[in-house]
Amino acid sequence: MNKRHAIKLIATGAGWTAAATTLGLALTACSENKPSFNAVDLTGADYAKDFKLADADGKERTLADFKGKVVVLFFGYAQCPDVCPTTMTEMAQVKQQLGKDGDKLQIVFITVDPARDTPVVMKAYMGAFDPSFVALIPTSEQLVAVAKDFKVYYKKVEGKTPTSYSMDHSAASYVYDTNGRLRLYARYGAGVAPMVSDVKALLNS
pLDDT in tens, 51-89: 999 999 999 999 999 999 999 999 999 999 999 999 999
Kindly report each contact of residues 169-172 with a partner whose C-beta sits within 8 Å and lies 24 or more positions away, as own/partner.
Answer: 169/75, 169/76, 169/77, 169/80, 169/83, 169/112, 170/75, 171/83, 171/87
- Are residues 174 and 78 located together in one domain of the fold? yes
- Are residues 14 and 115 located together in one domain of the fold? no
- Are residues 128 and 164 located together in one domain of the fold? yes
- Are residues 82 and 2 located together in one domain of the fold? no
Reply yes or no on whether the pLDDT at 8 is more than 50: no
Query: Interior CA angle at 163 toward 160 and 167, to 5°?
Result: 85
Domain that holds residue 194: 40-204
- Are residues 80 and 141 located together in one domain of the fold? yes
Say how many domains are in the chain. 2
Amino acid at 31: S
- Are residues 85 and 54 located together in one domain of the fold? yes
pLDDT score for 59: 97
